[in-house]
Amino acid sequence: MDLTLDAVTRKRLEQARELGRQQIRPLGLEADRQGRPTPPEHPFFETLIKLGLGRTRWSASDDARGDATRANDPTRVGTSRTQLCLSEELAYWDRGVAVSFPGPGLGEPTVLQMGSPEQKQRFLARFVEPARPIWGSFAMTEPGAGSDVAGIRTRARRDGDDWILNGDKSFAANASRADWIVVFATVDASLGRDGHRAFVVEKGTPGLANFVIEKKMGLKAYESTSFSLRDCRVPSANLLGGEEHYAKRAGFKGAMRSFNATRPMVAAMAVGIGRAALDEALAFARASGVEREPRVRDRLERIRRRLRAARLLCWKAAWLADHQRPNILEASMAKAVAPTVALEAASLGMELIGEVGGRGDHLIEKLFRDVKAMDIVEGTGQIQRMIMARKLVQLPSER
Amino acid sequence: MIDFALADELRLIQQTAREFADAELRPRDREFERARGVPDDVRRRYDEIGLGRVELPESLGGAGLGALARVLILEELAAADAGAALALDPLGPALYPLREFGGDAALERFAAPLLARPGARAVLFWDARPRIREVDAVATGILPWVPSDRADLLVVLEKERAYAIAEGIRCEPLRGAGLRAAGASELHLERAPIVASWVHTPQAQRALARARLYAAALLVGVMRASADYSRAYAVERQAFGRPIAHHQALAFLITDMAAAVETARLLVLDAAWRLDRGEPAAEACASAFLEASEQSMFVTPNGVQILGGHGFMQDYPVEKYMREARALSLLFGGVDLARDDAGRDLVRSEGPVPLTVEA
């Protein structure tokens, strides 16, 4: 057993800390004040590209060797833990800015898992050494289907060599600035998950329109965008995995598996937000000279203890992933626990700063708004509990 | 780098403890409770496999292993019967002040004779003031509860010192709220001579930290037992046409109970790992104890709840787990002192709060 970080991870964390202090935190506060996402032409994104960030984990050479278990598996050995620590640290400085980072984003795991070698080349190669900031996006959620992903209504209809997509998508991160969006649609809504198909819809495709950047409670630095597909014609070469992939009825499973590696990562982001709230609350208490009062101290003590436990849950899930061991239960546990712990941290922080929190311009107040999303994205706390219950008590699936 | 894998030796110890607990303790838990102790045949088997000696120095026939080995064993034993876990451990956490303050000499003087006497028990008590009056190294007073029917050695630990009493102790039997397999007494000290006394704050802190971790590991075992038993029951028991576990209200309660056990366990492992690495661990141990106490009061009452009316009956073990969890978190200064200690550590620190050990 070892609960330390290796030198590589510590070094990358130190870099993230520098970037966080100097740029990420100020950008997040600015976006929050102005109530709009950081625009894609902001020089910050250029800086990230120069630092070697905003890239894909896919590698053409690993792909050529046919080594699908390494580069193309999101649970590749040895990367989850470091990624997770970085996610936590970036979220500590600003989770909204962290999500706005260029790169293939949440579309990447789906392309990696379902895409053919040609498709990976077509959609991911541009992210290997991007000359300028570019984004990918992922769209599953719809106005009428969130947690119940099997209930999506966006239709995919075959037309010669193409597919015609019709429907509406909601809350897709970075969608309006993305080079492409992984869009889930159904060929037959009555088939539930078996009817799902994943398409890569490229920017400028006619019928891909009506981008609306939503107004959010928090996390304003990245865009959560709704859009529509109106007779949107997509070549069959953009159907991820091709027809044969779905003949094996693996379509939906692919999508669900892709959430697997990210759940502990999102949980770790919650820990980062909670940790920011703890540090700010403690600094405020010190500045006010009340940190030794038992009521104050007890709150802070509880926050630290629960955040530590949440971090350890995340670490364990990532460690299992790194060793290709089943982590469904642990990943969902981390995702179910960490956001509520982090919300408690921000909420107790609000109590400690008192009326100052009511002003609407204190970092803790922002964190309190930001953090709520963490119990919703990547599967709500309730969905995590259903997943855990399937493991623990064989809870039957709804469909 | 982050690695939760246990070394082979530790895995073997954990496995051995689990097998012993499953075979010898769990099937007889109510018998031990009635008898206020563990029968000789069980104690002999426990001694034979050597689990009780893992933490003792080699000079006392021990394995000289650390805190991780200890907490793994304690969790396994307590997952079967926490009272029996205490009854099987003659020295119990009294080992820690003896070792921290007095070193090998104190172990030789106090621990060795105790271990040589079958059935003898040492008792650790946190800060007996003002219940005990000391005049010229003689102590008089009454301690309201210790989880033992015997006290061949009493070690009293205070913030800056520890002292030992070996004679003049009378045990008035109590019914006990929980942990009855370990016994329960009111301790009467009648002009009891203090035969050894040590003063040093850091040692006291370290001894208290290890005692708290001991209790925390037992709490993890107890709540695991409650969560596992009630989960299995909920899968079998039918209501409204399906297993009660498949009603979401209960399904979600069961998932949260599993998360609570894992949360407490991870804090215990983290603290034990810090101790074994020689890191400062007083705060981590206090935090682990607090978390285990709080989570056990979520898990074990809900364990009873899931069984409904049956849960309240002594035909099922879940009511016992609930009583034991509450009793365990009263030991060694309880949760209030742990909260004070962990909180003081937090506000003393400067800059960003580290949650875990970085390097």
Residues of chain A with pLDDT under 70: 64-78, 249-260, 399
Find, among A343, A264, A266, the residue nearest to A95 by Cα.
Answer: A266
pLDDT at B256: 98
Residue A124 domain flag: no
* DSSP collapsed to 3 states, chain B: CCECCCCHHHHHHHHHHHHHHHHHHHHHHHHHHHHCCCCHHHHHHHHHHCHHHCCCCHHHCCCCCCHHHHHHHHHHHHHHHHHHHHHCCCCHHHHHHHHHHHHHHHHHHHHHHHHHCCCCCEEEEECCCCCEEEECCEEEEEEEEECCCCCCEEEEECCCEEEEECCCEEEEECCCCCCHHHCCEEEEEEEEEEEEEEECHHHHHHHHHHHHHHHHHHHHHHHHHHHHHHHHHHHHCEECCEEHHHCHHHHHHHHHHHHHHHHHHHHHHHHHHHHHHCCCCHHHHHHHHHHHHHHHHHHHHHHHHHHCHHHHCCCCCHHHHHHHHHHHCCCCCHHHHHHHHHHHHHHHCCCCCCCCCCC
Q: A257-285, pLDDT tens digit by residue? A: 534 678 999 999 999 999 999 999 999 99
pLDDT at A77: 41
DSSP strands (E only) in A30-150: 135-139
Half-sphere exposure of A168 (CA within 13 A, CB side): 10
Q: Are B159 and B175 in contact (CB under 8 A)?
A: no
- Residues spanned by the domain of A302: 250-392
Pairwise CB contact (< 8 Å): A3 & B357: yes
- As a whole number, mean pLDDT of residues B191-198 equals 97
pLDDT at A71: 47
Pairwise CB contact (< 8 Å): B2 & A300: no
CA distance linking residue A66 with residue B224, whole number of Å: 44
Chain A residues closer than 8 Å to B2 by CB? 2-5, 81, 315, 318-319
Residue A122 domain flag: no
What are the backbone angles phi and psi of residue B132, rounded to the nearest 5°?
A: -110, 130
CATH code at position A359: 1.20.140.10
CA distance linking residue B69 with residue B10, whole number of Å: 6
What is the nearest CA distance from B310 to chain A, expressed in angstroms?
20
Question: Is A358 exposed, middle or buried, given 0-12, 13-18 or 19+ CB atoms closer than 10 A?
Answer: exposed
CA distance linking residue B341 with residue B356, whole number of Å: 17
Find, among B164, B64, B49, the residue nearest to B104 by Cα.
Answer: B64
Domain count, chain A: 1
Token readout for B158 is 């205070």
| From A308, A311, A388, residue closest to B287, measured CB to CB | A308
Residue with the two structure tokens 């500590």: A92
Taken as a whole, chain B contains a residue count of 359
Question: Is A116 exposed, middle or buried, given 0-12, 13-18 or 19+ CB atoms closer than 10 A?
Answer: middle
Chain B residues closer than 8 Å to A9 by CB? 1
Q: Is 3.90.700.10 the CATH classification of the domain at B8-199?
A: no
CA distance linking residue B238 with residue B77, whole number of Å: 31
- As a whole number, mean pLDDT of residues B177-182 equals 96
Q: Kindly report the number of other CB atoms within 10 A of residue A354's CB atom.
A: 10
Residue A149 domain flag: no
Intra-chain end-to-end CA distance of chain B, in Å: 9
Task: Give yes or no: A14 in active site.
Answer: no
Chain B residues closer than 8 Å to A308 by CB? 267, 270, 287, 355-356
pLDDT at A72: 46
CA-based R_g, chain B, Å: 20
* Sequence ranges of the domains in chain B: 8-199, 203-350
Question: How far does Cα B8 stand from its chain's mean position?
Answer: 24
Q: Are B290 and B335 in contact (CB under 8 A)?
A: yes
CA distance linking residue B319 with residue B180, whole number of Å: 13
CA distance linking residue B67 with residue B326, whole number of Å: 23
Residue A382 domain flag: yes
Pairwise CB contact (< 8 Å): A309 & B3: no
What is the nearest CA distance from A274 to chain B, expressed in angstroms?
11
Q: Is A185 near chain B, with CB under 8 Å?
A: no
Residues 4-23 of A with CB under 8 A from B: 4-6, 9-10
Amino acid at B12: L
Residue A255 domain flag: yes
Find, among A244, A160, A217, A207, the residue nearest to A343 by Cα.
Answer: A217
CA distance linking residue B98 with residue B116, whole number of Å: 17
Cis peptide before B130 (omega within 30 of 0): yes
Residues 219-248 of B with CB under 8 A from A: 231, 234-235, 243, 245-246, 248
CA distance linking residue A132 with residue A125, whole number of Å: 14
| From B1, B258, B339, residue closest to A2, measured CB to CB | B1
Instruction: Please give the CATH superfamily to which domain B203-350 belongs.
Output: Butyryl-CoA Dehydrogenase, subunit A, domain 3 (1.20.140.10)
Find, among A229, A256, A248, the residue nearest to A150 by Cα.
Answer: A256
CA distance linking residue A20 with residue A13, whole number of Å: 10
Using CA atoms of A11, A13, A14, A16 in order, give the dihedral in degrees to the nearest 10. 130
The CA-based angle B246-B257-B22, given to 5 degrees, is: 95
Token readout for B47 is 């001694």
Q: Is B352 near chain A, with CB under 8 Å?
A: yes
| From A279, A318, A388, residue closest to B352, measured CB to CB | A279
Question: Is B45 exposed, middle or buried, given 0-12, 13-18 or 19+ CB atoms closer than 10 A?
Answer: middle
Q: A25-72, pLDDT tens digit by residue? A: 999 999 999 999 999 999 999 999 999 999 998 988 777 665 544 544
Q: How high does pLDDT run on average in chain B?
A: 96
0.90 exceeded by pTM: yes
- What is the phi-psi region of residue A229: left when phi exceeds 0, alpha when psi lies from -120 to 50, beta otherwise? beta
Find, among B277, B270, B281, B268, the residue nearest to B206 by Cα.
Answer: B281
pLDDT at B38: 97
Q: B23-78, pLDDT tens digit by residue? A: 999 999 999 999 999 999 999 999 999 898 888 888 888 888 999 999 999 999 99
The residue in chain A having the minimum alpha-carbon distance to the alpha carbon of residue B343 is A301
Find, among B317, B125, B147, B146, the residue nearest to B221 by Cα.
Answer: B317
Q: Kindly report the number of other CB atoms within 10 A of residue B309's CB atom.
A: 7
pLDDT at B222: 98
Pairwise CB contact (< 8 Å): B255 & A389: yes
